[in-house]
Structure 1
Amino acid sequence: MKTTTPLRTAGRSLYICQTCRRHLRERNAPSLPSSRQRWITQAHVRRIQEAEEEWRAKAREIEKGNMKSMLTILEERGYVNQIVGTREDLDKLLTHRRVGVYAGIDPTASSLHVGHMVPFMVLGWFYIHGYKANFILGGFTASIGDPTGRLKGRETMSPSQRKANMTEMHIQLKRLGASIEAYAARRGYMREWAWRRSLENNVTWWSKVTAREFLSILGRNIRIGPMLGRDTVKNRLERGDGMSFAEFSYPLVQAWDWWHLFQSGCQLQVGGADQFGNILAGAEAVKQIARESHEYQVALRQTQLLDSKHGIELNSDPMGFTVPLLTTASGEKFGKSAGNAVWLNPEMTSVFDLYQFFLRSSDSDVEKYLKMLTFLPLSEISDIMKDHEKDQSKRAAQHKLAKEFVELIYGVDAAEKAESEHRHLFRKNISLSDMKASLAETKTPETHSSGIPLFAHPSLNKHAQPLRREDNMSTHIKLPWSLVFHKPMSNILWSAGMVTSKTEGQRLINAGGAYVGGASDAKAEMDDSLSFTPVKTSDWKEVQKWIIDDNLLILRTGKWRIKIVNIVPDEEYAKLGLTCPGWEALLQSKETLDLTTGN
């Protein structure tokens, strides 16, 4: 009978025979011992062995040129921007070792937005190819704030708000991991036994770290000179408002996160292009700590010995790469700080408007988005683009992109519903009866706020403001009687959230970019077809002609931005607890009038 000995791998101790021990040691990068132990069955050992045999067989096929390497797959889709380390070492590492990969996000808002999706899509690609994907939520690092690219310090977030953000984003990331797997399955990537992913909050390990431990292990291995030389630090000191010690230490805190994960085989970090400095600093710090760790060096020598028996020599240092920031053809960045975030929370950006957002992608952007934000094969994307080029006005590529992304985030049913709603609202033969029926079917009152354009695509409006939780971006909205009747069209466009100010509304009207919907032939009483007419003046007498049945106004700006406005009495609007630009001022003026008249 074979004897059993403890094997420590990926933070666990497995009691197995010496033969299995040798095979299992090849599964992960060097890992430090843990006090946790458990027994595993022979069937489990066999599964691990089979997975490792498959991995080595795949590596041989890649080396023969019969399969693409993981790095090549990522490069072909445009994911790889800058590499920390050499490309040759990274390519070889990903080919021969099932390393762990991580990407993190600080909960500085209550939701992910579209700009966050590129590094998480990379995690998705790693996951469906058999690597351990680690989603890290920066509950602790959010309390410090990443100073990268900022000339001023972030506003201090209250503990209660940070905890609320952590809770909501944790749930969102958990759903994202599941939705990525489901979406991949529908694209032919069926789940395998060896696939692993995790979601962790760095608060869990930072709550156990003492200042002495942090300074003695990491602090003494870091030199101040390189940190002072970082562009972020120099810009803040020379052109900004200075930098706090907490912000200065942010790369060190992030490096500790990596060291915690590195001990369990997470050798690779992925981040946005603006995170290159943090990844580089983290890699250097982890490398220094690893050199000082006797336990790690012992594990490393054992792993290198096993590698040499298979004739391979791999770089065991921490490595990483950045992904391009998601931008439009005009170079605008997607994100909260840039002021054009499109949220992945339906309460903040509706599913319909998420669909519409991608439908408005420019022809020069759509292929890039298809590669980076979907799991569609490159050959299929090529066919989509060829079909798109035949008649760009049909926006076939944009429709495919919008449907695929909504499906990725919310599922098949939501994607089909969003597509159906769009085609219903924008079909050529839509009638006034259809619009009235659509209005009647809208049972949930829509909250409206702050005058943010409905589809503020950054390629169209570089000054677009960030969408907030209270901004429900539905096509169907309610407006109070007093903000529509006897008001100029520029004011109505502002209250409806289609422009950011009344002045912008007037400029849009003067440029011929605002439309109202009504009967195609106003003189024909039986005509029910809907057409849109350019607004020529803001005068109320002109506006009044387009109000249907005293409670319906259909507005459009550009080709796709539409609002179906249900005009309701002021009392009903107030009772529903709704708000819109101009409403608060109206209430204040009424209160002032009541005080003056003594009512």
Structure 2
Amino acid sequence: MANFDILEDLKWRGAINQETDEEGLRKYLNEHDDLALYCGTDPTGDSLHIGHLIPFMILKRFQLAGYHPVIVIGGGTGTIGDPSGRKSERTLLDAEKLHQNEVALTKQMEKLFGTENFQIVNNAEWLDKLTLIDFLRDYGKHFQVNNMLNKDVVASRLENGISFTEFSYQILQAIDFNELNKNYGVQMQIGGSDQWGNITAGIDLIHKLQGSDRQVFGLTIPLMLKADGTKFGKSAGGAVWLDPEKTSPYEFYQFWINQDDRDVVKYLKYFTFLSHEEIDALAEATKKEPWKRAAQKKLAEEVTKFVHGEDGLKEAQMITDALFSGDIKNLSVKQIEEGLKSAPAAEADSSVKNIVDFLVETKVEDSKRQAREDIKNGAIYINGDREQSVDFDIDPDKAFDGKYVIVRKGKRKYTLVTIK
């Protein structure tokens, strides 16, 4: 049995939006240590992003508390697509692309959850076997259309229209919960706040098919908004992905370390497994010494380590430290590309060129006069070395495999010059 009150912990973290039966769930947890719970994701893409990560963090907390998490990869429902959060019909994917996405998401989940006390299933295992007649006779008759129309996710789409395909999604998700409860011993489903209607539909179906005394529960997580009221999960470059090929560990780390003081404690509660005492101490440090950004550093460290492992964290920290200090000479070409992906960019040919001409041609400096002044004042660094001679010649072949020349002006104003 769990050593602490997981529900109270989730409340403290602000991670509970709605529960179907809080009293019943609490009683079940006090009397049993075998709770199995699930969260699902459809393979509509080949990677999750950090917005998707929120309910899976809750699932991970239950795993760490000794309970049994199950993840459903929606190989069946993914052929249709959840209408939740959408204003128009989803573009349907072909079978080959869906399968590629299933494989990619399965690997991501295995990395996050390990192999102990954890299970991944694919709802195609049972949904693919359903005939249309079975679907209508065994399940469709248990759903009232007027109730389905009142579900928030459907009601929000009625003005612009919703196809029968997406309208029926909630039935398929309810079938999932019933199947998992009957054959996998799963008693609870968790999801984002937009999944409440689908979760309650599943509980209703289980009670109709297996008896009203069947103990099943639902829990949703609040929609996460930033302090400025915008939706959490985006960076200036778009979504922040868990796939290191889409968002490098360095970019991932930078996303977290740059969070607003007003949001950082909330994110520590949601996205880390630090204790209440540790988070309270970081909250106090943010109030007293916000310029040290201790909470942001710890947040970036913990989440990057969880998603990308120790190696990913070390890589991100090494690039961060090198760019902050200016000691970039030991970075690889790949690390330079990751670290300066968002820096101002320029191009130059491979010829050896005087530093003054080079700075003006790459638009690091507006004029030769300003270039000479900054060079003499020690404000210009080439590939990590300060250059104070206006007669210095830049040879692109001398660093970074001849692919780049890195110019730094002042403390941390980098320009990535690509050699053509």
Q: How high is the TM-score relative to the length of structure 2?
A: 0.82
Cα deviation code 1:75-128 (max 9, x no counterpart): 112211111x23212211222232210001111111011111221111111112
User: Are 1:286 and 2:215 matched, yes or no?
Assistant: no
Q: Is the 8 A contact 1:119 1:271 kept in 2?
A: yes
Q: Is the 8 A contact 1:446 1:476 kept in 2?
A: no
User: Are 1:442 and 2:338 matched, yes or no?
Assistant: no
- The verdict on how the C-alpha distance between 1:443 and 1:227 changes in structure 2, with shifts beyond 3 A counting, is closer
- The verdict on how the C-alpha distance between 1:142 and 1:520 changes in structure 2, with shifts beyond 3 A counting, is farther
Q: What amino acid maps onto 1:317 in structure 2?
A: Q
Structure 2 Cα separation of the partners of residues 217 and 361 of structure 1 = 49
Of the two, which has the highest radius of gyration?
A: 1
Shift of 1:130: 1.9
- The verdict on how the C-alpha distance between 1:477 and 1:487 changes in structure 2, with shifts beyond 3 A counting, is closer
Q: Is the 8 A contact 1:70 1:95 kept in 2?
A: no
User: Are 1:237 and 2:158 matched, yes or no?
Assistant: yes
Q: What amino acid maps onto 2:376 in structure 1?
A: K
Structure 1 Cα separation of the partners of residues 195 and 283 of structure 2 = 32
Q: What amino acid maps onto 1:565 in structure 2?
A: L
Shift of 1:567: 1.8
Partner of 1:157: 93
Q: What amino acid maps onto 1:202 in structure 2?
A: N
Partner of 1:394: 292
User: Are 1:269 and 2:213 matched, yes or no?
Assistant: no
User: Are 1:208 and 2:106 matched, yes or no?
Assistant: no
Shift of 1:351: 0.2
Shift of 1:552: 2.8
User: What 5-or-longer segments of structure 2 have no aligned partner?
Assistant: 350-357, 365-370, 385-392, 397-403
Of the candidates 133, 142, 160, which is equivalent to residue 69 of structure 2? Answer: 133
Q: Is the 8 A contact 2:36 2:69 kept in 1?
A: yes
Structure 2 Cα separation of the partners of residues 416 and 388 of structure 1 = 24
Q: Is the 8 A contact 2:407 2:415 kept in 1?
A: yes
User: Are 1:568 and 2:394 matched, yes or no?
Assistant: no
Partner of 2:120: 199
User: Are 1:248 and 2:167 matched, yes or no?
Assistant: yes
The 3-state SS of whatever aligns with 1:566 is strand
- The verdict on how the C-alpha distance between 1:552 and 1:87 changes in structure 2, with shifts beyond 3 A counting, is same
User: Are 1:223 and 2:74 matched, yes or no?
Assistant: no
The 3-state SS of whatever aligns with 2:187 is strand
Q: How does 1:345-364 map to 2 (within 5 A)?
A: 345-364=243-262
Structure 2 Cα separation of the partners of residues 339 and 443 of structure 1 = 19
Shift of 1:257: 0.7
Shift of 1:438: 5.0
Q: How does 1:81-230 map to 2 (within 5 A)?
A: 81-83=17-19, 85-97=20-32, 98-178=34-114, 196-230=117-151
Q: Is the 8 A contact 1:111 1:344 kept in 2?
A: yes
Cα deviation code 1:495-528 (max 9, x no counterpart): xxxxxxxxxxxxxxxxxxxxxxx99942247976
Q: Which shows bigger deviation, 399-408 or 379-388?
A: 379-388
Corresponding residue pairs, total: 393
Q: What amino acid maps onto 2:226 in structure 1?
A: T
Partner of 1:374: 272
- The verdict on how the C-alpha distance between 1:198 and 1:443 changes in structure 2, with shifts beyond 3 A counting, is closer
Aligned identity (percent) is: 35
Cα deviation code 1:278-318 (max 9, x no counterpart): 11222212221223xxxxx9xxxxxxxxxxxxxxxxx6332
User: Are 1:522 and 2:375 matched, yes or no?
Assistant: yes
- The verdict on how the C-alpha distance between 1:250 and 1:530 changes in structure 2, with shifts beyond 3 A counting, is same
The 3-state SS of whatever aligns with 1:376 is coil
Shift of 1:350: 0.4
Q: Is the 8 A contact 1:270 1:320 kept in 2?
A: yes
Q: What amino acid maps onto 2:194 in structure 1?
A: D
The 3-state SS of whatever aligns with 1:344 is coil
Structure 2 Cα separation of the partners of residues 339 and 526 of structure 1 = 29
Of the candidates 229, 238, 255, which is equivalent to residue 331 of structure 1? Answer: 229
Q: Is the 8 A contact 2:227 2:263 kept in 1?
A: yes
Shift of 1:371: 1.0
The 3-state SS of whatever aligns with 2:376 is coil
Q: Is the 8 A contact 1:350 1:474 kept in 2?
A: no
Structure 2 Cα separation of the partners of residues 375 and 426 of structure 1 = 28
Q: Is the 8 A contact 2:249 2:315 kept in 1?
A: no
Structure 2 Cα separation of the partners of residues 339 and 89 of structure 1 = 44
Shift of 1:160: 2.4
Partner of 1:192: none
Shift of 1:414: 2.2
Structure 2 Cα separation of the partners of residues 400 and 444 of structure 1 = 22
Structure 2 Cα separation of the partners of residues 528 and 520 of structure 1 = 13
Shift of 1:244: 1.1
- The verdict on how the C-alpha distance between 1:523 and 1:160 changes in structure 2, with shifts beyond 3 A counting, is same
Structure 2 Cα separation of the partners of residues 386 and 412 of structure 1 = 27
Shift of 1:345: 0.6
User: What 5-or-longer segments of structure 1 have no aligned partner?
Assistant: 1-54, 59-66, 182-194, 292-296, 298-314, 448-453, 455-472, 493-517, 532-546, 570-599
Q: Is the 8 A contact 1:519 1:530 kept in 2?
A: no
Q: Is the 8 A contact 2:264 2:296 kept in 1?
A: yes
Shift of 1:211: 2.6
Structure 1 Cα separation of the partners of residues 279 and 379 of structure 2 = 46
